[in-house]
Amino acid sequence: MEKNTSFLSIAKDFKAIFFDSYGVLKNYRGLIDGVQNTIDFIENQGIVFRILTNDASRSQEQQAESFEKAGLRGITPEKIITSGMMAKQYLQLKIKSGKVAYLGTPNAAQYILQANLECVPISEVENHDLDTIMAMVFLDDEGFDWNYDINKTVNLIRRKNIPVIVANSDNLYPVTKTDVSIATGGIAKLVESIISKKFIHFGKPDSQMFNFAFDHINQEGTFNKDEILMVGDTLHTDILGGNKFGVKTTLVLSGNTNANDADLIIRSSGIIPDYICDSIVG
Amino acid sequence: MEKNTSFLSIAKDFKAIFFDSYGVLKNYRGLIDGVQNTIDFIENQGIVFRILTNDASRSQEQQAESFEKAGLRGITPEKIITSGMMAKQYLQLKIKSGKVAYLGTPNAAQYILQANLECVPISEVENHDLDTIMAMVFLDDEGFDWNYDINKTVNLIRRKNIPVIVANSDNLYPVTKTDVSIATGGIAKLVESIISKKFIHFGKPDSQMFNFAFDHINQEGTFNKDEILMVGDTLHTDILGGNKFGVKTTLVLSGNTNANDADLIIRSSGIIPDYICDSIVG
Amino acid sequence: MEKNTSFLSIAKDFKAIFFDSYGVLKNYRGLIDGVQNTIDFIENQGIVFRILTNDASRSQEQQAESFEKAGLRGITPEKIITSGMMAKQYLQLKIKSGKVAYLGTPNAAQYILQANLECVPISEVENHDLDTIMAMVFLDDEGFDWNYDINKTVNLIRRKNIPVIVANSDNLYPVTKTDVSIATGGIAKLVESIISKKFIHFGKPDSQMFNFAFDHINQEGTFNKDEILMVGDTLHTDILGGNKFGVKTTLVLSGNTNANDADLIIRSSGIIPDYICDSIVG
Amino acid sequence: MEKNTSFLSIAKDFKAIFFDSYGVLKNYRGLIDGVQNTIDFIENQGIVFRILTNDASRSQEQQAESFEKAGLRGITPEKIITSGMMAKQYLQLKIKSGKVAYLGTPNAAQYILQANLECVPISEVENHDLDTIMAMVFLDDEGFDWNYDINKTVNLIRRKNIPVIVANSDNLYPVTKTDVSIATGGIAKLVESIISKKFIHFGKPDSQMFNFAFDHINQEGTFNKDEILMVGDTLHTDILGGNKFGVKTTLVLSGNTNANDADLIIRSSGIIPDYICDSIVG
């Protein structure tokens, strides 16, 4: 484990880099200062990159647009890979007819469910609809009444044995320097543990997003796993997933994991990054 | 395991009976038909009884009044033992000053916190109050905004290392013949797992309520454990707790556990009641 | 939370003290230096004490004798309360006939099962015996072949739905200054999670041992909970259990929890002792 | 969910089939009767197949040879994909020097670790070696003393923060018609939960083996996910993994899941296969 190294001096030795988005490129205040320099450096070195995010609430296009609005150039939609895309692919392949109930915003639903499936917010599911509901998707932590709609979801899943998809496995996301909010994955795990069923979770640390990104860059050239670096701010998703996939990993201290706690959490979790940097800047 | 026996024919052989409340004496529709006969029979036989409930939202007096209003005679406040009383005793013994933050209704707070502690709903906790907050209590699943206030609770507990008390360990409670609602214990377990801290849970199956009831009846006479019967509708709380405490246990099928699933759940959980009855009637 | 206070200056303000045994009075090397002074001081002050231990492998008499052999005076058998006594009481009350299978040493079995039940080591259970086996007890981590006998236990419990009793909930115990060994509770949790059944666990942090000790000292005098101090080296058993029972708690740093990690583990676990002392000496 | 369909009538509509090995092609008694007919039918139809097994104890060659010895023709080494291969790839990519400690047989170690790493059975790890041990691998449930060597593993991992790899995620495997044995994954989960570290698990239901098989057959031709069928006897590995990967799934009742319990386990787990067949024969 190398610490306090300059990120650029590490990055230059790789042919491809996978970045987490939140906590790495941006945070609750917007873009991280200086991140444009890093993206430019990487592009100039001919290093290929992708952004792997557990944000399932917005499409690739919407996320690219959001980077552009914030003033970061060079993040095109096809460079962004979301856990929502994995959930979408699942639905396309496995649910061939009927309706899909969801917990989240209509925007998230529109994006994920653009397959030829009708989607219904859980609040609008009626008991006489039950026959037509073929899957339930946890999409986002907003866009619904937590008390009423989470309870309605519990009862739907108890009544009908359908696949339950979790489009974002994160438990928490930061909303200020000190405060967090419970994310979709946290809500889904509550329901999963209460009703003792097994849901289908997408997003890091699962290998599927890494594989998707790997296959994607290998359409542009030839990349071996040992030529790829995963960069993230969260040990349990970015670093665990990257390590397992067999690529080198860098923990940055600009997001979920702060400098004071990093050593301790690494020691107590047993999740060990190859490198630790303050941020991807410098 | 004896099945399909008449409850009264079992009851008559015991000197004391502990009843769960919800699913045993009443359910979502009100009193269970014929329950007055059973209470009268027990009283006439000179059998002592107590009601052990994981409902922490109302005082003994309020719960007794509710039985009376529903038309059931003979349930005096001192016969009712709630998990909230255990939480209240904890607070009195361990929190000697400061304020207690809570998630629940003001009524529940008033009842549990009538110790000389000031109580503050989580929604009204300000950051400049943090120094004065000495404990956090999960009281009830209503009386607050789930999204806003559960997230605020997560952040309070992350910021300040204080005892967190769960006054009701139940995950779910039934609201109609088929539907359930997430209870206080379910919400607390979500927060507990997300922030990896250890909360202090009160209520069945923990031994404390059984011990309290046991000590209570032994002030009226002399009761050995093998002269006591625990009656409940839920394997994981009533039956597991009663078995562990060393008393005989009866599962009734008038609440959480229905006749079709009982055998299966007993086999798969390994929680084995001594008797199974349709209800406490007949 | 008061730190670095002299134990005796805390102890003198209580009417009764509950001590954990291992890590408090003795450790892997034998008696902790100076412990006789503390016991003598307590006796001279007229403070009543009990030893609450999750060691289920030896009887009260055997444990008292072991203290005497090691040179500590004043520890009589009736001052020792073991989790094995709780398991034994359960078996006496709930298993009225048949045989009890066990995992552990014959000595542990003899002590716990001296009720009129026949006990059979799991290695000697034959398939044609299955009808007569009425319970399974996890007693100790030694006295059997781990590979053969743990697998045999898994198969017994899969075949026959009987109560499974865990006489000691500890996961680990220290064997040298740095090394630990998996304890009975750890083995039992492996089996429990693999077969998804609910076992009946005895020992701290459960309230039952605290209640037993509380009732026991109240036969000698009148003791309120706020006049009692629990002293232990382990947050998840001694301190969590003591806090929940409503007594004051002291963490000592002479066993499982060392001085360097104490603050961190308290912060990350949320289990908060009232006092922290280096040891019970001085 | 289609039930009781003939396997061959399902199989003929797919371009590729992934088979689990144990419980599908063979069981504790050897080859399942008639399995040669199914393999021949598939070959004749031009359907490509692979065997995806969580058995990490033997190489592809050894497993192919074992099928041949048992009398099944047509199973060449390159058709077999094992979770051990995933673990091996991880070690090659992430551990560049030093020694790897393992729990298992020397044969399993030789196969997985044929990278230029020195492997040491945990029983032979000395304290003065600690500096050179760079990873720990759970390979197999035999080849070591459970009591001594599992405890030694616990202490190694507590002392040194190294990656811990679990080469087979299964909890149990069947040894006779009614009896099971604890598998490597079960042992690893015990240690993982006791020391609260995060291990790196390989094998179904994780997507990695599915992706490996998918990439492998796509070197022979062009296969879309909806042209592939996964066949297995275990809901939590084969079916959950196949569903998540986006292929159609068939549960067979010739192994871990028997005909009487299948409906119930599907309902209680929420893991839903597309088809259910008695076996792959007929």
CB contact under 8 A, B270 and C198: yes
Nearest one of D253, D244, D240 to D282, comparing CA atoms: D253
Q: Does A246 touch chain D (CB under 8 A)?
A: yes
Tokens (6 digits) for B121: 């709903």
Cα A80 to Cα A18: distance, rounded to the nearest angstrom: 10
Cα D117 to Cα D98: distance, rounded to the nearest angstrom: 7
Cα B3 to Cα B23: distance, rounded to the nearest angstrom: 18
The ipTM (two decimal places) reads: 0.93
Chain B: nearest CA to A145, how far in angstroms? 8
**Alpha carbon separation from B104 to A227, B57, B144, B146, D154 (Å, rounded):** 54, 8, 6, 10, 43
Contact between D23 and D255 under an 8 Å Cβ cutoff? The reply is yes
Q: Does B268 touch chain A (CB under 8 A)?
A: no
Q: Does D190 touch chain C (CB under 8 A)?
A: yes
Calculate the CA D32 to chain-centre distance: 18
Residues D149-174: b if buried by 16+ CB within 10 A, e if exposed: bbbbbbbbbeeebbbbbbbbbbbbbb
Calculate the CA B124 to chain-centre distance: 27
Nearest-by-CA chain B residue for A182: B151
Q: How confident is the model at residue D219 (pLDDT cuts 50, 70, 90)?
A: very high
Please say if the pLDDT value at position B262 is more than 90: yes
Pairing of strands B164-166, B200-201: parallel
Interface partners of chain C (CB pairs < 8 Å, 3 or more) are: B, D
Cα C54 to Cα A223: distance, rounded to the nearest angstrom: 56
Please count the residue pairs, one from chain A and one from chain D, whose beta carbons lie less than 8 angstroms apart.
83
Best of D161, D212, D214 to disrupt the A interface (most A CBs within 10 Å) is D161
Residues forming beta bridges with residue D48, ordered by sequence position: D16
Residues 6+ apart with CB under 8 A from D245: A208, D207, D210, D211, D214, D225, D230
Calculate the CA A229 to chain-centre distance: 17
Q: Does D266 touch chain A (CB under 8 A)?
A: yes
Cα C63 to Cα C85: distance, rounded to the nearest angstrom: 13
Q: Does A240 touch chain D (CB under 8 A)?
A: yes
**Alpha carbon separation from D220 to A181, C73, D244 (Å, rounded):** 47, 80, 24
In the predicted model, residues of chain C with pLDDT beneath 70 are 113-115
Cα A72 to Cα A66: distance, rounded to the nearest angstrom: 9
In the predicted model, residues of chain A with pLDDT beneath 50 are none
Residues forming beta bridges with residue A166, ordered by sequence position: A138, A201
The angle formed by the CA atoms of residues C147, D235 and D215, to the nearest 5 degrees, is 100
Pairing of strands B172-174, D275-277: unpaired
Q: Does A198 touch chain D (CB under 8 A)?
A: yes
The pLDDT of D97-107, averaged and rounded, is 93
Cα B157 to Cα B136: distance, rounded to the nearest angstrom: 8
The per-residue DSSP string of B161-210 comes to ---EEES---SEEESSSS-EEE-HHHHHHHHHHHHT---EE-STTSHHHH
What per-residue confidence (pLDDT) applies to D178?
86
Cα A229 to Cα A274: distance, rounded to the nearest angstrom: 10
Q: Which residues of B touch C211 (CB under 8 A)?
A: 207-208, 211
Cα B245 to Cα C14: distance, rounded to the nearest angstrom: 29
Cα A220 to Cα B254: distance, rounded to the nearest angstrom: 64
CB contact under 8 A, B270 and C197: yes
B108-122, D9-23, D57-71: range with lowest mean pLDDT = B108-122
Please say if the pLDDT value at position D186 is more than 70: yes
Nearest-by-CA chain C residue for B92: C246
Q: Give the helix, strand, coil percentages of chain A, each rounded to 5.
A: 40, 20, 35
What per-residue confidence (pLDDT) applies to D50?
98
How many Å is the Cα radius of gyration of chain C?
A: 19
Q: How confident is the model at residue D114 (pLDDT cuts 50, 70, 90)?
A: low
Q: Does B189 touch chain C (CB under 8 A)?
A: no
The pLDDT of D142-165, averaged and rounded, is 96
Chain B: nearest CA to C195, how far in angstroms? 9
Nearest-by-CA chain B residue for A187: B190
Contact between D140 and D56 under an 8 Å Cβ cutoff? The reply is yes
What per-residue confidence (pLDDT) applies to A252?
97
Query: The tokens 């390994």 sit on which residue?
Result: B270
What per-residue confidence (pLDDT) applies to C188?
96
What per-residue confidence (pLDDT) applies to A115?
63
Nearest one of D263, D265, D274, D269 to D229, comparing CA atoms: D274
Residues 6+ apart with CB under 8 A from B155: A178, A179, A180
Please say if the pLDDT value at position B115 is more than 70: no
What per-residue confidence (pLDDT) applies to B114?
67
Q: Does C96 touch chain B (CB under 8 A)?
A: no
- How many Cα atoms sit within 13 Å of D134 on the Cβ side? 16
Condensed to tens digits (0 to 9), the pLDDT of residues C223-267 reads: 999 999 999 999 999 999 999 999 999 999 999 898 988 998 999
Strand residue runs (E) in D4-94: 16-19, 26-27, 30-31, 48-53, 80-82
What per-residue confidence (pLDDT) applies to A243?
97
Pairing of strands D200-201, C228-232: unpaired
Residues 6+ apart with CB under 8 A from C206: B206, B207, C169, C241
Cα B165 to Cα C173: distance, rounded to the nearest angstrom: 29
Chain B: nearest CA to C67, how far in angstroms? 30
Q: Does B268 touch chain C (CB under 8 A)?
A: yes
What per-residue confidence (pLDDT) applies to B2?
85
Q: Which residues of A touch B145 (CB under 8 A)?
A: 146-147
Cα C96 to Cα D223: distance, rounded to the nearest angstrom: 63
What per-residue confidence (pLDDT) applies to B127?
82
What per-residue confidence (pLDDT) applies to A224?
97
Condensed to tens digits (0 to 9), the pLDDT of residues D67-101 reads: 999 999 999 999 999 999 999 999 999 998 899 99
End-to-end CA distance of chain A: 19
Cα B245 to Cα B208: distance, rounded to the nearest angstrom: 9
Cα D32 to Cα D20: distance, rounded to the nearest angstrom: 13
Condensed to tens digits (0 to 9), the pLDDT of residues A111-147 reads: 776 667 889 999 999 888 899 999 999 999 999 999 9
CB contact under 8 A, B189 and A186: no
Q: Does A183 touch chain B (CB under 8 A)?
A: no
In this structure, the number of other CB atoms found within 10 A of the CB of residue D124 comes to 9
Q: Give the helix, strand, coil percentages of chain B, each rounded to 5.
A: 40, 20, 40
Tokens (6 digits) for B1: 């395991």
What per-residue confidence (pLDDT) applies to A114?
67
Pairing of strands B228-232, B16-19: parallel
**Alpha carbon separation from C239 to B89, C39, D130 (Å, rounded):** 17, 21, 34
Stretch 107-166 of chain C: residues touching chain D, C-beta under 8 Å: 141-142, 145-147, 150-151, 154-155, 158-159
Residues 6+ apart with CB under 8 A from A111: A58, A59, A62, A84, A88
D202, D243, D267: residue with CB nearest A200 = D243
Please say if the pLDDT value at position D116 is more than 90: no
Please count the residue pairs, one from chain C and one from chain D, whose beta carbons lie less than 8 angstroms apart.
59
Cα C262 to Cα A83: distance, rounded to the nearest angstrom: 39
Cα C25 to Cα C19: distance, rounded to the nearest angstrom: 8
CB contact under 8 A, A226 and D93: yes
Nearest-by-CA chain D residue for A243: D94
Cα C45 to Cα C16: distance, rounded to the nearest angstrom: 10
Calculate the CA B208 to chain-centre distance: 11
Mean pLDDT, rounded, of chain D: 94
Q: Does B97 touch chain A (CB under 8 A)?
A: no
What per-residue confidence (pLDDT) applies to C112?
73
Calculate the CA D90 to chain-centre distance: 16
D145, D178, D182: residue with CB nearest C150 = D182
**Alpha carbon separation from B176 to A194, B29, B173, B256, B280 (Å, rounded):** 18, 8, 9, 11, 20
Helices B83-94 and B207-217, packing angle to 10 deg:
90
CB contact under 8 A, C189 and D193: yes
Cis peptide leading into residue A106 (ω within 30°)? no
The per-residue DSSP string of A83-129 comes to HHHHHHHHHHHH--SSEEEEES-HHHHHHHTTTT-EEEEGGG--GGG
Nearest one of C87, C86, C120, C89 to C106, comparing CA atoms: C120
Nearest-by-CA chain C residue for B197: C269
Q: Percent of chain B scored above 70 by pLDDT?
A: 99
The pLDDT of B111-119, averaged and rounded, is 76
Mean pLDDT, rounded, of chain C: 94
Please say if the pLDDT value at position B4 is more than 80: no
